Structure 1
């Protein structure tokens, strides 16, 4: 994959990467602390699953399924660790249809986290209405038992 654009400090700039096809899978990892009780007592994902992180050029952190598969790695194994207990999946086209940019943002090793050459970002505005939309069309990739995706 073509390297991503970087600013003068080496930080990846928001971009819509031309090598990420509309049908390519975009996986969002879910930690256990993003599972919260709903009003009725059932469990659902927190809105944190549908937001950008903070910081310079921050987006919603994802893994690019096509790159993982091309490397000969099982994507479900790659995205699941003791910290990341589940994951949801979109296609790049679904995200672009919502006016998001889907880009490539490989991560260097930052102990205790290993390098992640399959990492990407989803950039754009994440108001509550868009978070709700993202929760509507997300699908479980690695399900967390008895947990709903939709945040209503």
Structure 2
């Protein structure tokens, strides 16, 4: 298990680059059907997949930390796949860091109807159009959505 993340006075996780997340670790981003689009007869991932998914003072891209799930004896592909999240992509932590992103641990408590997620993390940084393209280029399918491509047209 990772050390707990730094928090502000209100209990919110602060952006950080967690030293216990290894450069070789898999960083998983869940994808839903509504995060796809069709152009010229080809379905692709929407740019929203490569942007911050949280709002507020420290917006980040919500992810799951593959190594934590494996260490807990949980199949990470089953963990990230739900009726809402039918697919997922994977990044390598070191590649995200090379693009200037921070990767931190942010375990989530149960928030009905959402269950607790002890393997949750965040990716913080600048999600500009060039960075979104870089993230798209770094992504590979983890749990593919049949007929959907990662690459842009």
TM-score, with structure 1 as normaliser: 0.97
Q: CA deviation at 1:150?
A: 1.5
State how far apart, in whole Å, the 2-side matches of 1:87 and 1:131 are.
Answer: 16
Aligned twin of 1:109: 110
State how far apart, in whole Å, the 2-side matches of 1:74 and 1:85 are.
Answer: 15
What is the CA deviation profile of residues 60-89 of structure 1, one whole-angstrom value per residue up to 9, with x for unaligned ones? 000000000000000000000001000000
Aligned twin of 2:25: 24
Q: CA deviation at 1:137?
A: 1.6
State how far apart, in whole Å, the 2-side matches of 1:55 and 1:151 are.
Answer: 29
What is the CA deviation profile of residues 63-120 of structure 1, one whole-angstrom value per residue up to 9, with x for unaligned ones? 0000000000000000000010000001110100100000000001111000001000
Q: CA deviation at 1:56?
A: 2.8
Aligned twin of 2:123: 122
Aligned twin of 2:92: 91
Aligned twin of 1:46: 46
CA RMSD of aligned residues (A): 0.8
Q: CA deviation at 1:55?
A: 2.0
1:6 and 2:7 aligned: yes
Structure 2, unaligned runs of 5 or more:
none
Correspondences of 1:133-148 after superposition (within 5 Å)? 133-148=134-149
**Residues 28 and 87 in structure 1, CA contact (< 8 A), matched pair in contact too:** yes
TM-score, with structure 2 as normaliser: 0.96
State how far apart, in whole Å, the 1-side matches of 2:59 and 2:29 are.
Answer: 15
**Residues 132 and 150 in structure 1, CA contact (< 8 A), matched pair in contact too:** no
Q: Name the count of aligned residue pairs.
A: 151
- Give runs of ≥4 in structure 1 deviating > 3 Å: none
